[in-house]
Amino acid sequence: MAFALDPQVAEIFAPMAAAMADMTPPQVGDVAGRRAALEGLIAHSDTAQPAPADVTITDHHLLTADGEQILLRWYTKQGTPSEPGPAAVYFHGGGMILGHVGLFDGSIARYVSASGTPILSVDYRLAPEHPHPTPVEDAYAALVWLHEHAVELGVDPARIAVFGDSAGGGIAAAVSILARDRQGPAIAQQILLMPMLDDRNLTADPQLTPFMAWSWDDNRTGWGALLGDAIAGPDVPAHAAPARVADPAGLPPAYIEVGQLDIFRDEDLTYALRLSQAGVPVEFHLHPGVPHEFDGIAFTTDVAQRVMADRIRVLSSL
């Protein structure tokens, strides 16, 4: 029996698929074309749902080790308890090559409103202008910053998670490895939504090709921008591609989810298995009938509601 989209998701995706049928996708390596095509779609998805009125947004700035300034956006729910509580550091998706914190204001505010857990969103620098290790170093610096400012922000430093989707999920996993290897700040949990983990995932699977929201050409472009000629070679470090980690022992507990029609399915399944075999507590969800980032567009569907309930539960339980 062949794969098929979840019926509710298929109904919502149909007009978009029809509109895109005659469009020529960007060539491999065309970062500007992907930014033009996908950032508009992300912005539309982010504003398609109402923004909660009970979330306050405050901007901070972090001076990086190489002298650049990056934006850290802090989202808190109004009326939260005054005693120190949990928080999450969030890294947005975009294939390592696109996106910025402002494109995700609505979605992050909705997570905060529903869970009560504040979130620090990080405007990490993007490839190819800033290849590895800049994005993960920016992300790690933001984690350190939150630990250093935990008292003034009302955060318990023992209850800080890293959180991301797609490329941001990969960065959250990489930051977890980096923090372990450097004996750096504690991470209570890694929350990895359809994470982009393995630069070697470059060969198309014909079973998944009809459902691609992020394609193998996109993947080669993103990893190539981050790693250059090192892509898929023997010397890529786990701090760039977390699937390369030699020993996952000692990493933080993980929540991992992915759609069965997502090109990241196999690398995410494998990562969850390897973490489990190394003694890392893992909660894993494989959602049938859905492709990459489906929930941003098909947010009214039953499967999207289930996905969101799980994410809110995990954030609330930190």
**Residues designated catalytic:** 166, 262, 292
Nearest to 139 by CA among 112, 104, 164: 164
Length of the chain (residues): 318
Question: Angle, nearest 10°, between helix axes 31-47 and 216-227?
Answer: 110
Q: What does the alpha-carbon distance between residue 135 and residue 124 come to, in Å, rounded to a whole number?
A: 5
Question: What is the identity of the amino acid at 226?
Answer: L
In the chain, where do the E strands start and end? Answer: 55-63, 69-77, 85-91, 119-122, 155-165, 189-193, 254-259, 282-287
- Strand pairing class (282-287; 254-259): parallel
Q: What are the tokens at 149?
A: 């400012």
The rounded distance, in Å, linking the Cα atoms of 299 and 296 is: 6
Q: Which backbone phi and psi does 71 adopt, to 5 degrees?
A: -85, 135
Angle, CA 205 vertex, CA 204 and CA 210 arms, to 5°: 95
Of 95, 79, 45, 70, nearest to 215 by C-alpha is: 95
The sign of the CA dihedral 51, 56, 57, 62 is negative
